[in-house]
Amino acid sequence: MGSEVQPAYRMCFVCGWENPIGLKVVFHTGDGRVWAHFTPDEGHQGFPGLVHGGILFALLDEVISRAAYLRGDWVLTGRVEVRYARPARIGETLNLEGWVERAAGRGYLLAGRITNPAGEVVAEGRGLYVKLPAELRRRLGRGVLARPELPA
């Protein structure tokens, strides 16, 4: 799958490459989708050996919201409905995927899912995301966004 690395914010909890407690996920755009991989470690657990649901939500919300970038927009989370289907295990690489379902007035209806190495859905969600106001988008675009370096 051909892809482009999406921009990131330096200190974002999910994608920030300089956030010392962040997840440092690199998001890609390709074939009308946004995708990434993340391997949770013991610092991401809730119950022993299982990924905390809040970490799963953060990953899901980020990959879903990034689908708006496919259309050149950045969005804020309005409302999201999530279904947790099965536990995610520490040490197993998770696959994240997000897409646009439709434009919706001042924003979008976006959706996404997280799957485990077996291809089983761990969590899925969809929600309404609101476009960033023009002034905020301009301000954030002046040096805050950058393309993260991919690991060698």
DSSP letter, residue 61: H
pLDDT tens sequence across 89-127: 999 999 999 999 999 889 999 999 999 999 999 999 999
What 3-state class would DSSP assign to 21? coil
146, 5 Cβ separation under 8 angstroms: no
Q: Does some domain include residue 151?
A: no
Instruction: Please give the radius of gyration of the chain, using alpha carbons only, rounded to the nearest integer.
Output: 15
Q: Does some domain include residue 152?
A: no
pTM higher than the cut 0.75:
yes
The rounded distance, in Å, linking the Cα atoms of 47 and 125 is 22
What 3-state class would DSSP assign to 93? coil
Count of CB atoms within 10 A of residue 6's CB? 19
Number of domains comprising the chain: 1
| CATH code for position 101 | 3.10.129.10
pLDDT tens sequence across 36-53: 999 999 999 999 999 999
